[in-house]
Each structure stands twice: as C-alpha cells, then as structure tokens.
Amino acid sequence: MEFLKTLGIKEENFGASSGLKWYQTKDCGVINVVSPTDGKAIAKVYQCSEKDYEDIVSKAHEAYQYWRTIPAPKRGEVVRQIGLKLREYKQPLGTLVSYEMGKSLQEGLGEVQEMIDICDFAVGLSRQLYGSTMMSEREKHRMYDQYHPLGVVGIITAFNFPVAVWAWNSALATVCGDSNLWKPSSKTPLCAIAVQNILADVIKENNLPEGLFSLIIGKGSTVGEIMLNDKRVPLVSLTGSTAIGKHAAEVISKRFGKTILELGGNNAIIITKNADLKIAVPAVVFGAAGTAGQRCTTTRRLIVHEDVYEKVKESLLKAYQSLKIGNPLDEKNHVGPLIDKSSVEEFKHAVKKVQEEGGKIIFGGGVLNGAGYESGCYVVPAIAEAENHYQIVQEETFAPILYLIKYKGEVQNAIDLQNNVVQGLSSSIFTNDMRETEEFLSHWGSDCGIANVNIGTSGAEIGGAFGGEKETGGGRESGSDAWKQYMRRQTNTINFGTKLPLAQGIKFEV
C-alpha cells in the first residue's frame, strides 16, 4: 500500500528509536500487526529490549538537560515545524490510523488534525508559561512563583487514539522544556513508527539532541514496568484501563513520581422532556456507535425522561437501522471494526450479561461474518433497555453497546443516576430549559471532568483541558492550564532591602 511506503513502514520494522537511530534488536519478540479492517497482515515489529530501553532513557535524560536551557519560544519553533510536517503527511498518516486501528477514515484524518491543532496551541503557549507575583508581608520583599522543566516525560498511549494522545502530551512537554519517551499500544505500533519517521526530518534539520523524541515498543511486563519504576522519568502520562492505571499509580507514587491518568469512562447523556430531539438523537448515535464504541468518551448510558422515552427510543431505532457497517476506508460507512477478536468477545459478554440481569436488547448485538467482514471484528452496535444499577452497566465495555435508562421527575434524579458510577470522564445534557442546564453544571450537578450542554459526550476540542474524576484518574491533558503538569513549580522570595524581617512578625535576634 502506497501510504505505508510514504510513511517509511516496511515489512519488518524495529521497535526502539532515540530519534536519530533505530535499534536493531530482534531477539525480544515480534509483533505481527494485523488490520481489523480486513484481517490481513500489515507488517512485523521487533520489540524493544531492556538494554535498548536503558540506552534510550539515558539519552532522553541527557537531551532534557540540554533542552531545558533553550528559550521556550525557540522550543515552540520546533513544535511549529512538527505541525507543518504533520500537515504534509496528514493523508497517509490518517489512512494508516484508520487501517491499523479500524476507525473511519474521516476520524483518522481528524485525529491527525488534532495533532496539528495541539502543535499550534503549543506554539502560542511557548510564550505564555506565566508565573504570578504575590504581595509579600515583609518590607522590600518581592515574592513570585515560576515554572521549570520537569525532565523526561513518559507517554503511554492506548490503541483507540494511536497518535493524537501522544501529541497532546508531547507538544506541551516539548515547549515546557522536557524530553519525551513514548510507549505506544502494541495493538497499533505502526502509527507510532510512522510518527517517529515524520519527526526525523525535524530532528535533523534543527540539529536536535538524540533522545528528545524517543520511542519504545515492547511488553508492558518488561519495558513498561521498567519505565514505571524509573526515577529518571519523573512524570508518566498513561491512557488505558482503570486496572492498569491503578497499578501504575501505585508503582509511580512509591518513588514519588507524578502521573497524568486518563482511564475508564462510563459516560452518560441526559435527555430531558425539554430537549431538542433533532440535535439530541444524532449526538447520541455518533457518541455511542462512532469509532465502534472505542472512545474513552463514548456514550454508554442514555438517561431519558419518561415523557419522551418512547419517542427517543423510536428515533434511535430508526437511526441505528440506517448505520452502514464496513471497511472504514470507505467514507460511506459509519462504523468500522473493533480492534481485535478479544474486544468482540467482551462485546458479546456484555450483550449476554445485560440480558441475564433483566435488560432487553432492542437492537443489534450480533457479530457480522461473510464478505467484507473476514476479520471477524465487525459487530452490530447494540441498544439495550436497562437499569443503572446493573453490574454490567456499572462497568465500561469498550464496544458499541448503549444502555437506555428511564428516569422520572426532576432533572436532579437523572443527574444522580449519571453520577452513580465509579467513572467520571464525560457527560452531557440535552435541554432548552435554563434551570435544568444550570442544575447540571452546578456544584451538585455532574461530577465529571467534562460536562456538556446540547452536544454529545465525545469530540473534545484541544483548547480545553481533557480528563476526568474518580476512577477516570483525575489527570488533564491538552489545553487550558494542563501545561503546568509538565513543569515543576517554584516559589521565590527576593529581599532587596538592608534588613532581615522574618515572616509572621517573628523576632529572632542574635
């Protein structure tokens, strides 16, 4: 395929790079990358060794020691050039994202656009790493805070956004003066290799230090665990399951490291009796079925007022019947495959479990076979009438299954249902009633990191900080002031007088 050649993807690829060279290790296992789109083998990737990791992280630390001395606007200039390179490779990289991961081509191109957008954001940020000046209680003293680069930033990404999440972290970390160490999902390693190849030109053209942008592809049980325990990596940003996040948090906290955790989501949309269904229903369908339900912000629960419940259900059934399922590279299709057959099994388990608990499947739930579905990874998005307290509803199933839940009375009843899960990532309400809107956004409203009104749960913009509460992890990536996580904060006090007054008026004379 031409896009693979354009991106430098070969039949056999190495899984470790310091930015300027690829390590030639072949004896630590190989990943046979198969596309969920057609079930065909794409390429092989040789996994990183522990020796490779040690060399790469040493170079990354050295790169940080140099990079922190470079003025932030000049760091921003490098990120600007990365954004330009991504524009140049948007079509082939977006195609690879679609083919290797299985999301639609439009979404693959959109993901690369997010990379471009965060580069633009970071360029501006490079001139806005502001501290604050505070008033000292002591005469002729000035007090202020400032931010310094942190060190090597470890970035562990998931398969569902194989390139954008890396960019959310690395663009900010780079302008903050940090170096980057990327461990991508072993389910989508080719996307990471392609990005590393794109970066190579920028690295060479700017004579950047080896180790500023590094890549390790390997087992979580080996190089992944080493990274979590490595004191030379003061911050690890991890996107993944809640179970993996809990383990990482425990390991990293024991060495007093920092984490940015983007973990599970169990996102709900509330539709009140005052909602505009013309915009609500399309938002639900995209939120629940888009990316085959494999976004952390996927709509998993739909909480509908009893007065409009039947009308919403009827509209959803009609919309789901029109969904086109098939090869994601065909822009006529809405829904592509799940990432692999283990995800299909999780989908089938959820469909079975919700029925065992008393729910009713009113649409979909099957696995597609035959021509066009040879990979065995295509399923029919499901709708299940359910109750919020069901065990399966309380869990996150990373697949296209939507739980339809009825509520009565005031909007607070719906908010309470929404909040009654352990996850807290994204949430939405559809209503034209200002009081319901304000209730949803109040201190006692949605407990999620993202709370939207009259738009769906997915499709966050890079300008706002992205992340959630509770078992979603509490981390924030991308826009707003998320940059502060990639730096260490320092408070400074300067005495420009001739006396030494002590704080709180303390007298200590010798």
* Residues carrying an active site annotation: 262, 296
φ and ψ of 387, to 5 deg: -120, 145
Nearest to 293 by CA among 427, 400, 377: 400
Count of beta carbons in the 10 Å neighbourhood of residue 356: 10
- Which residue matches tokens 């099994």? 345
d(CA 351, CA 296): 19
3-state secondary structure of 191: helix
Task: Name every residue whose Cβ is closer than 8 Å to that of residue 248 and which is 6 or more positions away in sequence.
Answer: 156, 228, 236, 238, 259, 261
Task: Name every residue whose Cβ is closer than 8 Å to that of residue 356 and which is 6 or more positions away in sequence.
Answer: none
**In angstroms, what CA-CA distances link 238 with 12, 89, 155, 342, 476?**
27, 26, 6, 22, 11
β-bridge partners, 215:
17, 182
E strands along 103-227, which residues? 132-134, 141-149, 152-156, 179-183, 213-216
Please give the helix or strand (H or E) that residue 301 lies within, else none.
strand 299-305
Indicate the DSSP class of residue 340.
S
350's tokens: 């959820």
E strands along 59-204, which residues? 132-134, 141-149, 152-156, 179-183
